[in-house]
Structure 1
Amino acid sequence: MTTASPPSPAPSNAYQILLVGLLSLNFGIVFFDRNALNFLMPFVKPEFGLSNEQVGLIQSGLSLTWALAAFGIGRLSDAIRNRKLLLVLSTLTFSVCSFLTGLAQGFALLLGARLLMGAAEGGVMPISHAMVAEGVSPERRGIAQGIAQNLGSNLLGSFVAPVLLVSFAAAYGWREAFYLAGVPGLISAGLIWLLIREPEMAQRPVREPAAGGAGLGLLANRNVLICALMSVLLVSYVVVCWVFMPLYLTETRGYAPKVMQWLMGTLGLSAALGSFLVSGLSDRIGRRPVMIATPLIGALLPLSAMFLFGPTWLLAAAFFIGWGLNGILPLVMATVPSESVKPLHIATALGLCMGAGELIGGVLTPWAAGRAADATNLAAPLWIMLGLAIAAAFCAAWLKETAPALRDRPGRLRPSARRDGQGEPSSSG
């Protein structure tokens, strides 16, 4: 039987915009720090004499602790119901870890700094998406979560990071670039503390647990299971690209670091635009068709990197289109899971999907891609990316539609299916 606290006024449109904008900025800083080492690796790798396998292991280590934190901190925020405090503490900690990366003197210390950074950053997105799900109107949830996850992370993490940090490292040194990367998070933590409010306990719905319980039991929900599988595939694709594409472009294709930084920056612009277009399109035509088509478009990126020769702008255009795959990550990790479970378990479901992606895709795939590159050449990771994109499209075909515009259309779904698929069950649920 479902009980609920007295209804409270919905947040104003101005506050919803502030909430999404600030959370997007903060997650952008997360990826600015996370991706810094990938873009600076052409400077770090020769200084430390790293192999491709060691390069992959550094990323795998960060992904391991990120995955554990995503699930653990997601559940903790559901339990203690104080999301803002956890978010501020996580932001302060990962900023300090950026400074520690700059102080590293060898492979072991570099790996240790990235392990700590993953533990600090992993909980940021589950908490942020849970705050968006609670604070933004349901009809805007898709585009809001798309902006929260993709706009800032790609403008800062995939565009500003390569352009700014590579230039800064060339002028002043790669260690100094990491010190620079640690500053924005300190500012963001202060803004979150001052401007974002923590909803009162009485404002939140209190419901009976969903069928299948919480934690790993949420995998009994078909959409949660498929989103966890897609998260593994898509995180693998994205992380392999971040880690090995800069090396492929500089070592195999022979591009100078300044050309590489702009080609990688193109990915950030693509995903920033996709945070509006892809997520917004899914609000209109449905999550499922968008999540099937977009991974197939992502196959263009590795193919163009290997086989497209000609003007650099043409390769940049292919990168821009192919990275559109990144636009469905918020749907996979946040929107569809949050629309498929009861509100009491939203952050746990999000942490489960994100954690699965990082734990399997983020940990194992970079290491495996590095070993394959050492055994053959740097094209091996790009062939892995191609296979991952095709597999993700196949998985998406099995999803149940959750977009409110389609789900709530009269006659669209049977009542039982509607109760199973939506994040806010009917009063009979």
Structure 2
Amino acid sequence: MENSRDTASATRHGWIPVFVLCLNFGVVFFDRNALNFLMPFVSSDLKLSNFDIGLLSAALSLTWALSGFFISAASDRANSRKPMLIAAILCFSVCSFLSGLAVSFATLLGARLLMGAAEGPILPLSQSLVASSVPVKRRGLAMGLVQNFGSNLLGSFVAPIVLVGISTWMGWRIAFFLSGVPGLICAALVWRFVHDCPADKGGQEREKLSLSAAFAYRNVLVCSVLSTLVVGYMAVTYTFLPLYLTRISGYSTGEMSVLISALGLAAATSGIVVPMLSDRIGRKPVIVLMPLLGCLLPIATLVGPADPWILGAFLFAGWFIIGTLSLIMATVPSETVSLSQVATALAIIMGAGEIFGGVGMPIFSGWIADTMGLGGVMWTLIALSGASAVSALYLIETHSTHTRRRQHPPLGPRAVEDGI
């Protein structure tokens, strides 16, 4: 009886770090998206061109990917995540203040480059801490909360309302200054409630995970491809769907904003539902199914239901593809490689998504829109979601209750660490 109470207490306390890391990554996306929501104010003050605006976004994604890989690799070798995580949180908070001090495109670009470098390692470090502390039967849900729930609730729903309101009332510089404060609070919460990864069992050697060694794991390679496709789907949708709805479908800007808000609600919902479903039926079936739902969004947009509520329902359902990101970027790779190499593997997969999906796909889709029209972008989304479903077929199932990992040697030593 006493052991049961101790176990229940440990479980409750084990979720406190998950909620803290969920809140922290929500603040990260609050800061990352701040410039997007404040751009109407910033661009007029600093006289930014459309090319300047695109470069600011691409620059942050680039340094995000690079720092995510190098700092995560260093944390794996040192077997120390928590101190690096706190340092990264403090740095991105300072960078938010620096964005508010920008007086030209060059100074704002420098601040965004630094912010990307500071924020890049936060998710792989956070998810590696989750992987070491949450039981496998609840790992999908925990990682989904950390990656999807807070970031969409704070970064996509709260941020535009709060930041635009502050900017209208007190100016965009004050909005940047104030957006850096929550990060300082999160740093204190992480220091107080989050525990570092335990020391490696049995003196396990902490080997550097190179790109070639990482891609020797089939799941890491497939997840990198999936990351590129799904992040590309997300970036292209956010960039071009508002234009299609207003220019082609004929919706007003007010109607468009309500339809786009359905995506934020869907992302927050799928961030919980999709990982929970994977905890029940396995990772692979869920990652195959959700991209098929993703086809609904561009198809419904092309068909153009007369009732915006019907279109909104299809957009909501199609956006459940985004719920797979935590499985692709965190859960599956963390259950594939050695625990001492998790942060590096996650950073490689996230970096692929940021560089090829977040930077490359919108540029490619812009060329498609210029040559074929905005309808061509919708067909690009169909291709991305279809390719995601096909690519997911090549995954090796990692959930311990749905497969025996000893049948799949390429999965690596993590199976032994989990006692499977």
TM-score range (shorter-chain normalised) is: 0.7 to 0.9
Taking the TM superposition and a 5 Å limit, the aligned residue runs for 1:43-82 are: 43-45=41-43, 50-82=48-80
Q: Is the 8 A contact 1:53 1:371 kept in 2?
A: no
Q: Name the structure 1 match of 2:4.
A: none
Partner of residue 408, structure 2: 417
**Equivalent residues in 2 for 1:184-263, closer than 5 Å:** 184-201=182-199, 204=201, 206-207=203-204, 214-216=209-211, 217-246=213-242, 260-263=256-259
User: What amino acid does structure 2 have at the position aligned with 1:58?
Assistant: L
CA shift in 2, pair 1:232/1:308, >3 Å: same
The alignment's TM-score, normalised by the length of structure 1, stands at: 0.85
Decide whether aligned partners of structure 1 residues 255 and 164 sit closer, same or farther in structure 2, where only a CA change above 3 A counts.
farther
Where in structure 1 are there 5+ consecutive unaligned residues? Answer: 1-8
Closer, same or farther: CA 237–347 of 1 in aligned 2, 3 Å: same
Shift of 1:176: 3.5
Q: Which residue of 1 aligns with 2:383?
A: 387
For residues 191-240 of structure 1, the C-alpha deviation after alignment (integer angstroms, 9 at most, x for no partner) is 11122222453x65643578xx7221110111110001111111222223
Structure 2: tracts of 5 or more residues without a match: 1-6
Q: Does 1:327 align with 2:318?
A: no
Corresponding position of 1:6: none
Q: 2:341 & 2:246 partners in 1: Cα distance?
A: 45
CA shift for structure 1 position 359: 2.4
Residue 108 of structure 1 pairs with residue 106 of structure 2: yes
352-361 or 243-252: bigger deviation: 243-252
1:135 aligned onto 2:130: no
**Would the alpha carbon gap of residues 256 and 274 (structure 1) be closer, same or farther in structure 2, given more than 3 Å must change?**
same
Once the two structures are superposed, what CA deviation does each residue of 1:295-318 show, in whole Å capped at 9, x if it has no partner? 121233344445535454444333
Deviates more, 1:339-348 or 1:296-305: 296-305
User: In structure 1, how many angstroms separate the alpha carbons of the residues matched to 2:210 and 2:8?
Assistant: 29
Q: Is the 8 A contact 1:159 1:266 kept in 2?
A: no
Q: How does 1:350-365 map to 2 (within 5 A)?
A: 350-365=346-361
Equivalent residue for 1:282?
A: 278
Quick check: 1:404 aligned with 2:415?
Answer: no
Q: 1:124 aligns with which of 122, 130, 144?
A: 122
- Residue equivalent to 2:17: 19
Inter-partner Cα distance in structure 1 for 2:259 and 2:156? 10
> What amino acid sits opposite 1:163 in the alignment?
I
Instruction: Pick from 67, 73, 93 the counterpart of residue 91 of structure 2.
Output: 93
Question: In the aligned structure 1, how far is the partner of 2:44 from the partner of 2:166?
Answer: 18
In structure 2, C-alpha distance between the alignment counterparts of 1:176 and 1:318, rounded to whole Å: 38
- 1:398 partner SS: coil
Q: CA deviation at 1:92?
A: 1.4
Q: 1:343 aligned to 315, 339, 349, which one?
A: 339
The farther-off stretch of 306-315 and 158-167 is 306-315
More displaced, 34-43 or 151-160?
34-43
CA apart distance, 1:52: 4.4
| Aligned twin of 1:272 | 268
2: CA distance between counterparts of 1:77 and 1:397? 32
Deviation at 1:346, TM superposition (A): 1.2
* Alpha-carbon distance change, 73 to 48 in structure 1, aligned in 2, over 3 angstroms: same
Q: 1:156 to 1:260 in 2, by over 3 A?
A: farther
**Deviating more after overlay: 181-190 vs 21-30:** 181-190
Cα pair distance change 1:89/1:126, threshold 3 Å: same
In the aligned structure 2, how far is the partner of 1:382 from the partner of 1:180?
Answer: 37
For 1:380 and 1:258, the matched residues in 2 are separated by 24
**Contact kept? 2:271, 2:323, Cα under 8 Å:** yes
Structure 1 contact 38–243 (Cα < 8 Å) conserved? no
Which runs of structure 2 are paired with 1:309-320 in the superposition (5 Å)? 310-320=306-316
Q: Is the 8 A contact 1:68 1:359 kept in 2?
A: no
Do the aligned residues in 2 keep the contact of 1:52 with 1:371 (CA within 8 Å)? no
What do the CA deviations read for 1:233-259 (whole angstroms, capped 9, x no partner)?
A: 112222233344455556766766665
- Amino acid in the other structure paired with 2:408: A
Q: Which whole-Å deviations, capped at 9, do the CAs of 1:323-362 have from their partners, x for residues lacking one?
A: 1111100110111111111212111111111112112222
Q: Structure 2 vs 1, CA of residues 379 and 114 (structure 1 numbering), >3 Å: closer, same or farther? A: farther
CA distance 1:372–1:427, change in 2 (3 Å): closer
Percentage of pairs with the same residue: 47
- Partner of residue 28 from structure 1, selected from 26, 47, 58: 26
| Root-mean-square deviation (Å) | 3.0
Aligned to 2:175: 177
**Which segment drifts farther, 256-265 or 88-97?**
256-265
Size of the alignment, in residue pairs?
413
Q: Which amino acid in the other structure matches residue 424 of structure 1? A: A
The letter for the 1-side match of 2:146 is A
Counterpart amino acid of residue 415 in structure 2: E
SS in 1 for 2:396: coil
* CA-to-aligned-CA distance 1:68-122 (integer Å, 9 cap, x gap): 0111111111122221111111111112222333333443333322211111110
Provide the rounded CA distance (Å) in 2 between the counterparts of 1:356 and 1:113.
23
CA distance in 1, matches of 2:291, 2:408: 26
